[in-house]
């Protein structure tokens, strides 16, 4: 039961810290205009995925809320709440990174450095 919370909250932290899976080789090898499009597309897809997790997790929790776990006596819906919470956080953090990139406050996703560029700004 608690493992779901650790996994899904950890996934959200991974999105926030740019430690989640990505295709950075494609970003490194692409020209800057295409790189910008790929970054926006990628963050948009991560945000959409988080929103889908939120929606479907909420539906699963609501659909199973009346069932009880036999041993601990709490609602089976609690099994699915971490999906919704993790999805909301993933969407929020991806949206944050997308807005920072689009407004120019962040040159690339957190943690991404173009090959050959220095990390110092």
pLDDT reading at 36 higher than 60: yes
Helix-helix angle 2-16:81-102, to 10 degrees: 0
More confident residue, 106 or 48: 48
- pLDDT score recorded for residue 48: 97
Helix-helix angle 81-102:32-64, to 10 degrees: 160
pTM for the structure as a whole: 0.81
pLDDT band at 61 (very low <50, low <70, confident <90, very high): very high
Give the C-alpha separation, 53 to 26, whole Å.
26
Q: Residue 30 CB: number of other CB atoms within 10 A?
A: 15
pLDDT reading at 107 higher than 70: no
């Amino acid at each position: 039961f608690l493992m779901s919370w650790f996994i899904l909250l950890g996934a959200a932290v991974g999105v926030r810290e740019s430690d989640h899976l990505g295709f950075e080789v494609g970003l490194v090898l692409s020209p800057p205009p295409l790189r910008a499009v790929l970054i926006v597309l990628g963050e948009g897809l991560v945000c959409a995925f988080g929103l889908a997790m939120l929606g479907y997790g909420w539906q699963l929790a609501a659909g199973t809320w009346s069932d009880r776990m036999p041993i601990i006596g709490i609602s089976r819906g609690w099994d699915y709440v971490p999906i919704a919470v993790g999805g909301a956080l993933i969407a929020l953090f991806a949206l944050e990174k997308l807005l920072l990139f689009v407004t120019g406050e962040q040159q690339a996703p957190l943690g991404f450095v173009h090959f050959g560029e220095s990390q110092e700004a």
